[in-house]
Structure 1
Amino acid sequence: MSFSDWLSLLSQQILATDLLQWTAIILSVAEVLLARANKVWLYPTGIVATVISIYILTKAGLYAESLLNGYYVVMSIYGWWYWVKKQDNHPVTITRSTAAEWRITTAISLLGCAALYFLLRHFTDSTVPLWDAWVSSTAWAGMWLLARRKLENWILLNISNAFAIPLLFHKDLPLYALLTIFLFIVAVVGYLDWKRKLTHVLRANSKN
């Protein structure tokens, strides 16, 4: 298939996308913009977008992705509560992952993938159990590193995104694939920004 044929197919898929998917995508983009602007409305916006996405992904047979989005809902509710509560905690500083943390990250990715694959293969009608499991397990690993403010979280999240993009196109979810491409770019920018901040802190500490 030529590039022009691919673009034509993509445009046809986008035009055929229903209103529910458009709503979820628009709200997801709004969530990212609200997060960048540091507005509390990012949480209710994200919750609605994610709940819709769970329905759409489940309908498409991406059960591990749906489970992953369920986690996003829980964390968004917690984040919303934490924001309103305004607890005065010291932020965790950005650092690189240690060897022990890399072992845990690898375990989450591989064992998580194996467990999800087993469940999807034997208890669902998933047509892409390994693919779906790998996308979700690497995202879980990335979120674990993100919670610990580790620079490498962006690498794991983009490994997940890189596999998710063709998976979403394969499942005829072009808008979600384009959203994931957008998130891939955001993660690259996030990695570079965190690396710059970490380098600045290390240089400042070396002078003391």
Structure 2
Amino acid sequence: MNQALPLLFGFITTPLELISFLLSVITVGLNIRQLHWAWLFAILSSALYAVVFFDARLYGDMALQFVFVLVSVWGWYVWLGASTEKSSRLAPIVPVVSRLSARQRVYGILAWGVGFVLLSWFLKSFTDTDVPYADGFLTAGSLLGQLLLSRKKLENWHVWIIVDVLYVGLYVYKNLMLTAILYALFVLMAIMGLRVWSKQCPK
């Protein structure tokens, strides 16, 4: 699954990166439509991308994929909702889109900053990555974005727009060109998601 595949304009990818790319696009498309099946595709794409990032020595991103799998399982459960009826079956009770309070926004920024410091220190001290600060900053931001997404907070799209723009540059640097294209597409899809969710979110 790691043999090179030629793309347009001389870019090279692998079958594993290509499959991960397609699953990720499906995931974001389903997230915009607020369909709970997005979490299944998120689990699959994250598991495959963990291998891709390991090969690229992006260990923060690799570890992030495992966190994404766990958060995706939880997010899937939250989006479905748990019935308190005697049948104890899962009911389609989906949280409504809402905004963070001013205090929650401050907490979110602080959490991103603390996560950046801790992750960057760990990556620089205990791995052979050549981009500990970029990897740490974007990993921390991605964790915040995923948490906000699972709670259907509108601001998740703001976080993803920032993170995805910066990821494009990082993946170009690491020669993961297809993944760089994916994250450029994610920027556009995040903008679309922000517009769609804003219409459903009370002021």
> Fold match, TM over 0.5?
yes
When the two structures are superposed, what TM-score results if normalisation uses the length of structure 1?
0.78
Q: Given residue 117 of structure 1, which amino acid in structure 2 is its aligned partner?
A: S
When the two structures are superposed, what TM-score results if normalisation uses the length of structure 2?
0.80
CA distance in 2, matches of 1:39, 1:80: 6
Provide, for residues 18-74 of structure 1, a one-character-per-residue CA deviation record: whole Å limited to 9, x for no partner. Answer: 22211221232234445549374x444433322111011011111111122111212
CA distance in 1, matches of 2:183, 2:20: 13
Matched, 1:118 2:118: no
CA distance in 2, matches of 1:111, 1:81: 28
Q: How does 1:1-208 map to 2 (within 5 A)?
A: 11-13=9-11, 16-33=12-29, 36=33, 38=35, 40=37, 42-79=38-75, 83=80, 87-88=90-91, 90-198=93-201, 201-202=202-203
CA distance in 2, matches of 1:190, 1:45: 17
Structure 1 unaligned residues grouped into runs of 5+? 1-8, 203-208
Provide, for residues 100-149 of structure 1, a one-character-per-residue CA deviation record: whole Å limited to 9, x for no partner. Answer: 20121012110000000000000000100001111111122222332333
Answer yes or no: is the 8 Å Cα contact 2:36–2:76 preserved in 1: no
CA distance in 2, matches of 1:181, 1:56: 18
Q: Kindly tell me the number of residue pairs found equivalent between the two proteins.
A: 189
In structure 1, the residue corresponding to 2:97 is in which secondary structure?
coil
CA distance in 1, matches of 2:154, 2:59: 29
Structure 2 unaligned residues grouped into runs of 5+? 1-6, 83-88
In structure 1, the residue corresponding to 2:95 is in which secondary structure?
coil
Cα RMSD for the two superposed structures: 2.6
CA distance in 2, matches of 1:80, 1:92: 11
Q: Residues 12 and 188 of structure 1: is their aligned pair in 2 closer, same or farther, counting only changes over 3 Å?
A: same
CA distance in 1, matches of 2:36, 2:99: 28
CA distance in 2, matches of 1:130, 1:68: 15
CA distance in 2, matches of 1:52, 1:88: 30
| Structure with higher helix content | 1
